[in-house]
Structure 1
Amino acid sequence: MFFLRQLRKLKLPPRMLAQFYTAIMESILTSSILTSSITVWFAGAIVRDRLRLQRVVRAAEKVIGCRLPSIQDLYISRTRRRAGRITADPSHPGHGLFSPLPSGRRLRSIRTKTSRYMNSFFPSAIRLLNTK
């Protein structure tokens, strides 16, 4: 946020500020040092943590002066993209988990016994793809 405010003080146009946000701040918000993507941790995150991250996005919106995609929107778009890559690659180890139902419209849900596994990437990605 500091650098975003400094760029605003230099009278940069909102478009440039939004590009800085997308390139720097959004990448920090959606991934960690270990390059663990938002697609992995967001489904299992508690509501309080999601709201804290969304607060950073709202603060950046106020600094920039334009609407930015929410953390939830980033999660949905990146999860769909990642799941699409997995289903398109038959050599991927998780390809078999995305098996279609006989109708061909939806994917077969993964049976889970624990909420930890239910909130992991594959079951949450299948739920997301089934709600198109």
Structure 2
Amino acid sequence: MRKNSVESHQFEIENQLAEISRIAVMLDAFAVYWRWTEKFKHDVNLAVEEVVSNIIMYAYTDTLEHHIKLNFEQDETRLQITIRDDGKHYDWLQNNKKVDVNVPVEEREIGGLGIHLLKNIMDEVNYRREENLNVVTLIKKI
């Protein structure tokens, strides 16, 4: 990568859980191309999988085919991932539910763990609604 350059790659999947395996393959290729460490790749894969699986499972009220768009931009200092979907409006980052990771899984309330995880492995996690699309932005410093 040239100094002060930004490289960008776009990817689109359908709203099917089987599509998540395509994301892992794509991230493996990005990891080689951008020379990510294994930990960096693991964190990015986990974060993207968490967001996309939640979109697929909860954003749509119909059984129609929808497309989820992912954009990856990287420069010398950070990776920015932008995920767009046309599902129902829901700012899941507003879920301020406190997650006690010390409580056994079977005793925990459902919900909130994925957001807790995202906020701990990414440097920034943002949500906005733009032109009838949900837009999630994940940023991880390199």
TM-score past 0.5 threshold: no
TM-score norm. by structure 2 comes to: 0.29
Which of the pair is proportionally richer in helix? 1
Larger radius of gyration: 1
**More strand by proportion, 1 or 2?**
2
